[in-house]
Amino acid sequence: MSAPLLQVNDLKKHFPINKGLFGRQTEFVYAVDGVSFEIARGETLSLVGESGCGKSTVGRAILRLFDVTAGQVILDGQRIDDAHPSTMRQMRRRVQVVFQDPFSSLNPRMRVRDILAEPIRNFGLAKSAEDLEVRVTALMDTVRLPREALNRRPHEFSGGQRQRIGIARALAAEPELIVCDEAVSALDVSVKAQIVNLLQDLQREFGLALLFISHDLAIVEHMTHRVAVMYLGKIVEVAPRREIFAAPRHPYTKALLSAVPLPEPGARRSPIILRGDVPSPINPPSGCRFHTRCPFAFDRCRTEEPALRSAEGDQWVACHLDALPQD
C-alpha cells in the first residue's frame, strides 16, 4: 500500500478561555483531544458528529488556520503542523478548503474573475496572462457556470452558484486534498444534490482526496469511502462506509444512525433515544466521554478511557464493550 496523502497523529487543540476580571485564571476548551487518522490519495474521508464535537477544528488544524496544541499533521511525508512559513506556502497550495456559508466566504468586492485568479497568481501557476485567462475560463466550465459570469460579483449569484464559485476557487490552486467543511449544509435540497454530484465528478476527474466534514449522515453515506465518527473531541469509531452503515459498533454511532428520520412513512424503527445533552468540552467527563449518555455504560467506562482499537479489519472502535469477548 502506498503512503497516505495525509496523516494526522494524536492531534490536540485546546483553546484557552480567560476567566476572572483580569483574565488571569485560564481554563481550556478541549475541542480536539487526541485524534488520529489517514486519508489516501483520491479518497473521501467523512468526519461526522454533532455540534461541538470538534470536527471543524480538525479541518482547520489541517489547513493550519491556527497552530495545534500537540500532535502531528503530515502531508505526503512532510510535517506541516510546524513547517516554516516559506515551506508552508507551497504546502497550502496542496490543501484547499470549501466553507459552509457561500455568502460570507467570498469577498463581495471582487469579481469572480479575480476571486479565481488570486490563487493562481499567488502560487505562480500561470505562465502568462493568456494562460491565466485560459485557466480561469476552464474553471468556470469545470464547475458548470457560464463564462459570462466571470465579470460579475458574488451578490449576483444564488447560494448554489456561489458554492460553485467557492469550489472553483479551491480547484484553482490544483490541490490534492480539499477540506469541505459542511460545504452543502446550507443549501436547499435540490441545489444540495447538484453540488454533491459536482463534488463526486470532480473527485473522479482530478483524483482529489476529500475531507468531508458534515452532520448529514445520509449525504455522507452517499459521498464517502470511509467515515470517522467524533464525539467531544475524540474519534469513537472509524471504518469503511459499508461497515459503519451496515454494522456500527460504537453505541454512539448506533444512536446517531438510528436518530436520522427516514424519508419513508411507516418505516417503523426503534430509534435509540439518547438521554440528555452533549457535556461541555471545557469539563469533559472522565473515562469514556460518552458514558454520561451511553445506555450500556458500566463502572469501567466511568474511570478508564477506551483506546481506539481494531475491531474487525478496517473498523476501529473506542469502546470497552467492544473489547469484551462477544458471545
CA-closest candidate to residue 216, choices 180, 260, 277: 260
DSSP state of 278: P
Stretch that binds other proteins, among 92-100, 165-173, 274-282, 301-309 (CB under 8 A): 274-282
Among 19, 127, 222, 309, binds other proteins (CB under 8 A): 222
Annotate each residue in 35-74 with x if it binds other proteins (CB under 8 A) or - if it does not, as one string.
---------------xx-----------------------
Stretch that binds other proteins, among 75-83, 108-116, 162-170, 212-220 (CB under 8 A): 212-220
**259 touches other proteins by CB under 8 A:** yes
How many Å apart are CA 306 and CA 323, to the nearest integer? 9
How many Å apart are CA 157 and CA 102, to the nearest integer? 10
**245 touches other proteins by CB under 8 A:** yes
**192 touches other proteins by CB under 8 A:** yes
**Cα angle 248-53-208, degrees, rounded to a multiple of 5:** 75
Residues in binding contact with other proteins, number by CB under 8 A:
42
- What is the Cα Rg of the chain in Å? 21
How many Å apart are CA 265 and CA 263, to the nearest integer? 6
> Least CB distance from residue 219 to other proteins, whole Å?
6
Among 3, 17, 65, 218, binds other proteins (CB under 8 A): 218
**277 touches other proteins by CB under 8 A:** yes
**88 touches other proteins by CB under 8 A:** no
CA-closest candidate to residue 44, choices 241, 230, 316: 241
> Least CB distance from residue 277 to other proteins, whole Å?
4
Give the CA dihedral 127, 129, 130, 134, nearest 10 degrees: 80
Among 45, 112, 143, 255, binds other proteins (CB under 8 A): 255
Among 25, 107, 122, 197, binds other proteins (CB under 8 A): 197
**327 touches other proteins by CB under 8 A:** no
Beta bridge partners of 74: 7, 79
> Least CB distance from residue 103 to other proteins, whole Å?
13
DSSP state of 8: E
How many Å apart are CA 9 and CA 36, to the nearest integer? 4
Among 152, 241, 254, 300, binds other proteins (CB under 8 A): 241
Q: Is 63 helix (H, G, I), strand (E, B) or coil?
A: coil
Among 77, 108, 124, 263, binds other proteins (CB under 8 A): 263
CB 128 within 8 A of CB 151: no
Count of all residues that appear for the chain in the document? 327
* Grid cell of 191 as nine digits: 441545489
> Least CB distance from residue 199 to other proteins, whole Å?
11
- Write out the residues near other proteins by the rule CB under 8 A: 50-51, 158, 160, 188-194, 196-197, 200, 215, 217-219, 221-222, 241-242, 245-246, 255-267, 271, 273-274, 277-278
